Amino acid sequence: MHEHDLDLIAALADGSLDDESEARLLIDTCEVCGSEYRSQTQVLAWLAAAPGVDMTELEKAALHRDLWTELRSEPSKAGATPWWQTWSYVAAGLFVLVGLVAVLNGPLGSGGQAGETLAVSSDLDAPAVEEAAPFDADESGSGEDSQAGAPTTTAAERALDLPFAELAEEARNAREAEPNMGTMSLDGEVEDCLARLGLEDQVVVDELELDQTYLVVMTEDPELDRSVTFVTLTDCEIVHVDR
């Protein structure tokens, strides 16, 4: 199989080529290419014949009912400020706070962790912004942050301070490491935390010390799932997933 022909054969099979002459010549003259093309078109035919999968009316009604029940407990977004305006308030508050901290720096207690520094400014936030890590960090399923009596900072605010470059580097290193290296033995606290996050069947391959301590968690079979999950022990929270 000529590796560089994969795109051409696949594109010919799904009809996405403007000019098929080159591809047609290839499958006519290369037995392996022709076989691959027939295989691809057969699969596409099977898939095209697959019926659509829709919800029944009963399932839709249940979905809508459950969804709206969940949404009724959400804070109302009516009159909420746009996200960019919210973050401009946060930025302004941070600026003032950092200035105050600089002035008061000393035995009175300086900034501490970024999360604590943000505690005062969080009051400026519109209630709509109470999410886990930003969209690109793929934390779509995590709902731990939306709780009454929540921490003084929002997860979105904490997520802004993550050392993304260092986490990405660590993720690359974790994937490149030998499979039998670095599965750490766990104490009870870590095991409980991973169980709460639904990561009990994954392995901790490293403990990363940056602005705080991150557990670096991966599946046992990175061939199937190459995600690297970063968990903070202090909050027992997934703060980033690198894919």
Least distance (Å) between residue 182 CB and another protein? 20
Least distance (Å) between residue 48 CB and another protein? 8
Least distance (Å) between residue 64 CB and another protein? 8
- Taking the least distance from each CB to another protein, the nearer of 104 and 150 is 150
Tokens for 240, please give them: 């980033």
Least distance (Å) between residue 44 CB and another protein? 6
Give the C-alpha separation, 25 to 113, whole Å: 64
- Taking the least distance from each CB to another protein, the nearer of 105 and 243 is 243
- Taking the least distance from each CB to another protein, the nearer of 74 and 189 is 74
- Taking the least distance from each CB to another protein, the nearer of 88 and 110 is 88
**Can you give the binding site for another protein, defined by CB under 8 A?**
6-7, 9-11, 13-14, 16, 36, 39-40, 42-44, 46-47, 49-56, 58-60, 62-64, 66-67, 70-71, 74, 76-80, 82-83, 128-131, 134-136, 138, 140-143, 146, 198-202, 219, 223-225, 227, 243
Least distance (Å) between residue 240 CB and another protein? 13
